[in-house]
Amino acid sequence: MPNDSRPALLFASGNPTKQLIYRPILDQMGLAVYDLSEASNLPLDQPVEDAATVTENAAIKAAHYQSENHPHVFAHDVGICFDALNDEPGVQARRWGGKLGDSVSDEDWMDYLLMRLKDVPSEKRTGRFVVGWALATGDKQVHTLLLESPFVIADKPLRPMTSGSPMTALMVGDDDMIAQRQAVFVKQLKTWLPLLQLADQTI
């Protein structure tokens, strides 16, 4: 846990893309953010994220890591829905609902997506991120929020991907995909009441 006067917040993720998107915003809010690699006294087991929605999965993760040592925990889960694929893959985006293995690489995931969309015209290559946030607080409450963010997918990689997020190579838009994703979420983060209340606390 960071040793400063700001309220400490454990960001319960090891995904480098999520770190790049969220950590700078949370830091700007006056929170002393640290991740799982920087934390001690964590549970030995991993959270079982087997719920039907991204908010439930985020809540499971936040509650799993919340403790006296880590009283405030922010967790995130994301599903991906492609309109032309009847909203596949959904909540289990990385494993594609069980069609891909737990250890699928970024490149293999991207290749599978492009194969599934190979006959889909550009005007129908649309979809949305379904994002769930959860904040576990010292009073044992878990607050959740659901967001959606639309996108358009190209038929080939447009740029190098960010590790852990093959979608960054394929999304139509600015080349700085991290900044683009931050722009989508910054307003919601900075106006989400549970986070604002935490940022206003003094230790």
Residue 97 has pLDDT above 90, yes or no: no
pLDDT higher than 90, residue 158: yes
pLDDT of 30 higher than 60: yes
Calculate the average pLDDT of the chain. 92
pTM of the model: 0.89
177, burial (CB in 10 Å: exposed 0-12, middle 13-18, buried 19+): buried
Q: Which of 4, 45, 77, 87 is catalytic?
A: 77
The CA-based dihedral angle spanning residues 202, 34, 19, 102, taken in that order and rounded to the nearest 10 degrees: -130
Round to whole Å and give the CA distance between 154 and 8: 40
**Structural domains in the chain plus CATH codes:** 8-199 (3.90.950.10)
pLDDT for res 1: 64
DSSP 8-state code for residue 29:
T
Q: Which of 15-19, 61-65, 97-101, 147-151 has the least mean pLDDT? A: 15-19
DSSP string across 134-175: EEE-TTS-EEEEEEEEEEEB-SS--SPPBTTBGGGGTBSS-S
Residue 4 has pLDDT above 90, yes or no: no
- Residue 27 annotated to the active site: no
pLDDT, average across residues 141-148: 96
3-class SS of residue 193: helix
What pLDDT band is residue 140 in, cutting at 50, 70 and 90?
A: confident
Residue 19 has pLDDT above 50, yes or no: yes
Note whether 17 and 178 are within 8 A (CB). yes
